[in-house]
Amino acid sequence: MRRIILSGIVATIGILPFSNLKAQEVIKRKGYKLTFENNFAELDPKLKKRLIETFFVVYPKLAKEYNPATEKNVVFAVDTAYKGVAGTSDGKVTFSSTWMISHPEDIDVVTHEVMHIVQDYGRSIGPGWLTEGIADYARYKFGVDNAGANWTLPDLKPEHTYKNSYRITARFFAWMEKVKPGTIKAVNESLKDHTYTKDIWAKLTGKDLDGLWADYIANPEI
């Protein structure tokens, strides 16, 4: 999955124009508005309901934890022209209709993608592996049915590094939160206000990333 810089967020995959819009629904709950767009006539109504319900379960929690000032109006679009898995830009998450067919159980793709909205790093000064690692850590912590998608944090392997991104980095962060609670939230905040430097890890934990990774390798239990 390639990474691009987008206004308002670093997204996992590029967004294609939404084409042949056939349906739009607006749902409002407890201060949040979700606009659901869909040009995929075969979308399972039960899956659509799960996507909507997952948003209203996880998004307020992510907002409370990481960014209370996050966007209140979000758009979901299931698009037959989109060839990735999912991607986020400017408060809009686009989902592949193909992925919906082949992986209907992967409901927490919602959790990962809306975390990108909450992150709101703009023209981030942080590395891409960090952005995606935090998003997958949020999925690990707040996901509603990771088990149903057979989604887990992978066991540590010799070839892994903290720069691998996604689930590998997320597992390192889960370990770090056991060792020094609050670290990831603080790092996320520094990315959001553009004060992040690599020195923040030592300031928060007493060790730089390489030192933390060495400790993780020595005792990787989470």
Domain end, chosen from 68, 97, 119, is at 119
Tell me the pLDDT tens digit for each residue of 98-124. Answer: 998 999 999 999 999 999 999 999 887
Q: Residue 153 contacts by C-beta under 8 Å, 6 or more apart in sequence?
A: 140, 167, 170, 171, 174, 222
pLDDT for res 6:
34
Is the pLDDT assigned to residue 205 strictly greater than 70?
Answer: yes
Residue 143 and residue 207 share a domain: yes
Is the pLDDT assigned to residue 7 strictly greater than 70?
Answer: no
Residue 109 and residue 176 share a domain: no
Question: What CATH number is associated with residue 92?
Answer: 3.30.2010.30
The model's pTM: 0.89
Residue 16 and residue 112 share a domain: yes
Is the pLDDT assigned to residue 21 strictly greater than 80?
Answer: no
Average pLDDT over residues 32-45: 96
Tell me the pLDDT tens digit for each residue of 160-196. Answer: 999 999 999 999 999 999 999 999 999 999 999 999 9
Residue 172 and residue 94 share a domain: no
Rounded Cα distance between 148 and 135, Å, is 19
**Residue 147 is part of which domain span?**
128-218
Place of tokens 């979308």: 43
Measuring CA to CA, how many Å separate 76 from each of 19, 186, 222? 14, 28, 33
pLDDT for res 124:
79
Rounded Cα distance between 41 and 147, Å, is 28
Residue 100 and residue 164 share a domain: no
Domain end, chosen from 72, 94, 119, is at 119
Tell me the pLDDT tens digit for each residue of 144-165. Answer: 999 999 999 999 999 999 999 9
Residue 138 and residue 112 share a domain: no
